Structure 1
Amino acid sequence: MGLLNRMSTVIKAKMNKIIDAAEDPRESLDYSYEKQLELLQNVKRGVVDVATSKKRLELQRGKLLQNADVLDKQAREAVRAGREDLARLALERKNAITSQIASLDQEIAGLEGEQEKLVAAEKRLSTKVEIFRTRKETIKAQYSAAEAQVKISESVSGISEEMADIGVSIERAENKTADLKARSSALDELIDQGTLEDFTGKQDDIDRELSKISATSTIESELSKMKTEEGK
């Protein structure tokens, strides 16, 4: 049981992490706002329903009052005509109607109180919904700004990493270039010292010997000329 509980806890934690990553708080706020609007509409409909019921009872009460007035007049006419039996019957009916009117008055008063409560609740809820709407839009704007800032920071971080890689590549190329220059300079020095032979642009052994013979011939010719000029 302990192992199962731990596994269940781990699974729930992972699921919550996945849901949290996929959830957009702006959508959650809009959804909450829509639910509050639905609740507010329900309260408003309740106010309308109570007001309609009260109005119906008031209309019914008005008709009963009219009937009571008619019966009162009939009772008075019967009395004047000496018909006490008819007057008594009219008064009995009037009394029954008066009882109905009293009962309706109680129901109307109860609906009036209920309507006042619903109207007050509607005003409070409407105020809360408007406050939530303002807060919701503020939070959404802040979230969007923070999201944009994160994207910019991530882009800058990516550029920095890329530039760092470029810097490493440049440094590596510079080091290789320096190594090649040093090697070239060392080879040139060895060639100049005669340690290595340059087969790419300098004279080989035959060229050097021919150059020596040519130089010797030139020197001997100039020397002979000088002797002649000097009378020797």
Structure 2
Amino acid sequence: MPGLLSRLTATIKAKLSSLLDMFEDPRETLDYSYKRQLELQTDVKKGVANVITARKRLELQKSKLEANITRLNEQAREAVAAGRDDLAAIALQRKMDMMTQADSITAQIQDLQRQEDKLTDTARKLDVKIEQFRTEKETIKAQYSAAEAKVKIQEATTGIGEEMADVGYAVQRARDKTEEMQARSEAIDTMVEQGTLEDVLGNKDLVEKELEKIKSDAAVKRELETLKQEVKR
């Protein structure tokens, strides 16, 4: 049973493959693959844009922290000058906290920069591959279209050849029929001349023809006798 099921599965796959080959247009397949690559390209570029946006946002936060650090440092100086070491200590503590945050943000910015560089390089390589694929795709499509057109022309030419063969056969048949009809016409003429056709159609016409011939011969003889007598005179 497992062997039969395996053979049945293989047969179904073969049939499906044959059916797909029959309806598959490689040009459509290539265009679909190209479309999917363009979608991937768009996704990569969106990823690069998102990373850049995140980096820019962190850089803005870092700039604000650095501005606050500078301001706190000045406040600490003013507090010391005013004899308020307690206020100076508070300002310096806040300054240290912000410097820690700034260091953390700097690390995040560097990490995002590395991601951005990798994605940018990936996008650049992907652009090259997609352009190469597009060129190859169009070349293959042109070759397929040319081959398809050639096949259609050959099929059309073959069809014309078959039709011409049919035409030649029809002409030959017409000639044969014409020659046959001409032969029959000539045969009928011969039969008419020989009197065979009248004999076939009925004895009355033949008898009448013979009687007319006898009368004609008798008239000729009478005319001949008349001429002889006139000459003797």
TM-score by length of 1: 0.84
Deviations 1:106-135, CA, capped at 9 Å, x for gaps: 111111111111111111112222222233
Distance in structure 1 (CA, Å) of the matches to 2:230 and 2:82: 193
Equivalence for 2:219: 217
Q: How far 1:5 moved relative to its partner?
A: 2.1
Matched, 1:15 2:20: no
Letter paired with 2:21: D
Distance in structure 1 (CA, Å) of the matches to 2:80 and 2:7: 93
Equivalence for 2:4: 3
Equivalence for 2:109: 108
Superposed, 1:66-105 pairs within 5 Å as: 66-105=67-106
Matched, 1:177 2:173: no
Distance in structure 2 (CA, Å) of the matches to 1:171 and 1:92: 115
Superposed, 1:50-199 pairs within 5 Å as: 50-186=51-187, 188-189=189-190, 196-198=196-198
Deviations 1:139-184, CA, capped at 9 Å, x for gaps: 3333333333322322222222111112112212222333333444
Distance 1:91 1:230, change over 3 A: same
Count of matched residue positions in the alignment of Structure 1 and Structure 2: 228
Distance in structure 2 (CA, Å) of the matches to 1:176 and 1:93: 119
Worse-superposed segment, 214-223 or 37-46: 214-223
Report percent identity of matched pairs. 46
Distance in structure 1 (CA, Å) of the matches to 2:35 and 2:101: 45
- Of 192, 206, 209, the residue aligned with 1:207 is 209
Equivalence for 1:230: 232
TM-score by length of 2: 0.84
Would you tell me which structure has more helix in proportion to its own residues?
2
Q: How far 1:223 moved relative to its partner?
A: 3.1
Q: How far 1:190 moved relative to its partner?
A: 5.9
Letter paired with 2:143: Q
Distance in structure 1 (CA, Å) of the matches to 2:4 and 2:129: 46
The runs of 5 or more residues in structure 1 that have no matched partner are none
